[in-house]
Amino acid sequence: MYQRLIKVGLAKYDPFKTRFQINLSTFILTFNPFSPIGPPLFAIFAFATCGGYSGQLRVSVDCMEKASSNLSIGIDFAYPFRLYQVSFEAPACEAMRRDRVYLIGDYSSSAEFFVTIAVFAFLYSLVATGVYVFFLNRYREISRGPLIDFVVTVVFSFMWLVSSSAWAKALSDVKLATDPDEVQLLISACKEPTNKCGSVHGPRWSGLNTSVVFGFLNFVLWAGNIWFVFKETSWHKGASKFPNAASEKQTGPMGLWVGGA
């Protein structure tokens, strides 16, 4: 999908010596988001920032009976954000009784879908990079290779857009479900006016916000390569021959018109 930045001389196969001559310096110095190491690198950032996330919020429950109070209740959650499975103990403000409270929501489908697309995009990018670097001439000789690459690039572009949009929406819902002010509404003691509930601190969202950004950057990266992959296919090369053939029939030597009326 990014062979436009790989020069023909980057990988030369010698059938007699059965070896590759690889210009690694050219490969490294051509790095930019559209270079061969751009897609796998961006995909790593996408699934690492999402799949490796864990967060915590803390709320306080100050009961009228001070002995029952808990001014720092820690609530931990992580990928894949099945919040309905996340529970914590909160004081009921009735003697020393405590209630088991569960968060609300399941956002695992969008998160796992996003990470899955990122992982498969990463793996395909590695395979494609190996093909472009070591088998570039063979890749261009086989017509089905560029066609498969074109179809896969289009599919991944669409899937990056869908998964990033779905994950962005799910992330906004996760933020709402884990907002300390919203979590306090789940605690029975906080519904009593004689008790005071508050927020100690909320989760940090910089990592997950970054994952959404990298998701849409991957979409731009893959979508931007569609045209360059299409140029390698037989569809484009076949279509480009027709205008040349037509011009040869219509003009003779010295550019004189030889067509009919």
Report whether pLDDT(5) > 60: no
Which residues, in sequence order, are CB contacts of 131 under 8 Å at separation 6+? 139, 145
Residue 79: predicted pLDDT: 96
pTM for the whole structure: 0.76
Report whether pLDDT(56) > 90: yes
Query: Which residues are bridge partners to 224 per DSSP?
Result: none
pLDDT > 70: what percent of the chain? 74
Q: What angle do CA 16, 21, 27 make, to 5 degrees?
A: 155
Q: What dihedral do alpha carbons 191, 75, 49, 209 form, nearest 10°?
A: 20
Half-sphere exposure of 7 (CA within 13 A, CB side): 13
For 113-171, the pLDDT digits (tens) are 999 999 999 999 888 888 877 877 776 677 676 788 889 999 999 999 999 999 999 99
Residue 157: predicted pLDDT: 95
The C-alpha atoms of residue 20 and residue 133 are separated, in whole angstroms, by: 9
Work out the average pLDDT over 186-193. 92
For 18-37, the pLDDT digits (tens) are 444 444 444 443 444 455 56
The C-alpha atoms of residue 116 and residue 166 are separated, in whole angstroms, by: 13
For 227-249, the pLDDT digits (tens) are 878 787 766 555 555 444 444 44
Q: Which residue has the higher pLDDT, 116 or 4?
A: 116
Can you say whether residue 86 is alpha, beta or left, with left for phi > 0 and alpha for psi between -120 and 50 degrees? beta
